[in-house]
Amino acid sequence: MASTTGDVLFEALRAHADANLRPALILRHEEWSYRRLLDTVEATARELSGSGTRVLATLLDNGADWIVADLAAMRAGLVHVPLPGFFTPEQIAHACTVAHVDSILLPEQFTPALERLGFTPQPDEWGAGGSRLCRRRIEPPQLPAQTGKISFTSGTTGTPKGVCLDDAGMLEVAASIVRATEGLGITRHLCALPFAVLLENVAGVLAPLLRGASCVVLPSREVGLLGSSNFDPALLQQITLRHAAHSLILLPQMLRAWTGWLQATARAAPRSLELLAVGGAAVGARTLAAARALGLPAYEGYGLTEGVSVQTLNLPGADCPGSAGRPLAHARVRIAADGEIEIGGTLCLGYLGEPADTRPWRPTGDIGHLDAAGYLHVSGRKKHVLITGFGRNVSPEWVETSLRSEPAIAQAVVFGDGAPALSAVVWASTPELTDDDLSHAIASANDHLPDYARIRHWTRAQLPFSPEHGMATGNGRPRRGAISDLHANAQYRVLTIPQAIA
């Protein structure tokens, strides 16, 4: 089981509580001081230890209860298993089973579904949000030494895979982020992504608390995140203005939607913003340029759960648009002979159910290169490389990023392995856009690509690429096989482009 390795964090919390400069948490209807947060975490850690809990899962929306549970597990030396709200009941059951979860914290209305897994609701409400703790008897799991968290990622098969992390590693990454952003004056971070996403957990909660900043913590719907794939930029704009937030972490599609909304409404970006860190997928230099022209200080980064959330980041004064930034202090990056990106430095302990991974360098499955100034450029996934009928290697993610940089295109998936030219399935950003509108957008994207990487054939998607429709994984990656099968008999339009690839 995990040991208590969070001393540096709790020493920082005590120092911030004594200084009493600003609240730790800004919630919907109240603020929590650092003293209140620290006292609540200490009491909860004692309660969990006394109950015999060894592996605590949480299935909660963003709120004080989630943060208290996370920090209390760290304080008590327990294993925390954050479960994303977008997981299906089958995925939740799988994660609880393979991680040997003995306690789970969740909204009371969900407790009946857990009873079939052997959980019994405890009699009293838990925390400040009306949550309920359910417990069961189960044998402890076999985990790598020092495991403090199991972060589940949903792969292309839909079966979650558990990544084992240690508290010391997460705090090392958080401290690295604090050092990298020290000169930006960030004292108020708005948490826009779910806490079960490791990036927000580490960079959006642990890093601000180490720094002594305030975390603005609201339910996901109130910041515009509706389910796993829908986003309302107007709500995020409103909340950012209301709380004068200095920083946020966004997914690329959230940035594109916010940028498009600002353009369509002629609104001004919130002037309080110092940093919008964007990750999870390629962003693209044109998207960044459009966002910055409107006043959104967007900077792209790169990271994997296996590397404890973030490895590289562009920053004001150290920026190369179109790249993923330079490695942060805790991370090392190199390129293998075949072009695959490998990471070192602070790493995960291994995968749940497998022996501990002690390799100093881990393959990422991504391809890319480091430029002369040390910036990382990510081309796409190694296993997704297409070889056209003319023998040219093309990363579909590269072309898809160019397509999604067009305001008319919300989603795109590119095919063409063995074909003379590439084809695309595209989902329009708004339903009223015509086929001519989409053709012009694709032609505009082609203008930014070499001839061998341009789209020749395209069709409108029949469904959005979302988990609800089976067209994406839980974390938003397109299921290329499912999309290909759905559109196998679709009528593809021919786009007039240079004859060189006809």
Write out the two tokens for 176.
């690295």
| Secondary structure (H, E, C), 54-75 | CEEEECCCCCHHHHHHHHHHHH
Mean pLDDT of 134-152: 94
- Residue 158's pLDDT band (boundaries 50, 70, 90)? low
Strands 326-327 and 312-313: antiparallel
- pLDDT > 90: what percent of the chain? 74
Average pLDDT along the chain: 91
pLDDT > 50? residue 453: yes
The number of helix segments (H) and strand segments (E) in the chain equals 14, 29
Quickly list DSSP for 291-331: HHHTT--EEEEE--GGGTS-SEE-BTTB--BTB--EEPTTE
Q: Do 398 and 414 touch, CB atoms closer than 8 A?
A: no
Give me the residue spans of the domains in the chain: 7-165, 168-382, 385-501
Write out the two tokens for 164.
């084992």
**What would the pLDDT profile of 203-237 be if each residue is shown by its tens digit?**
999 999 999 999 999 999 999 998 656 789 999 99
- Residue 316's pLDDT band (boundaries 50, 70, 90)? very high
Pick the CATH number of 385-501 from 3.30.2320.50, 3.10.350.10, 3.30.300.30, 1.10.580.10: 3.30.300.30
Pick the CATH number of 168-382 from 3.30.70.100, 3.30.300.30, 3.40.50.300, 3.40.50.12780: 3.40.50.12780
**Among 494, 82, 18, 27, which residue's Cα sits nearest to residue 243?**
27
| Secondary structure (H, E, C), 461-489 | CCCCCCHHHCCECCCCCECHHHHHHHCCC
d(CA 25, CA 235): 20
**What would the pLDDT profile of 373-408 be if each residue is shown by its tens digit?**
999 999 888 888 888 876 788 889 889 999 999 999
Mean pLDDT of 267-283: 94
**Among 151, 81, 171, which residue's Cα sits nearest to residue 350?**
151
Mean pLDDT of 303-311: 96
- Residue 498's pLDDT band (boundaries 50, 70, 90)? very low
Give the pTM.
Answer: 0.87
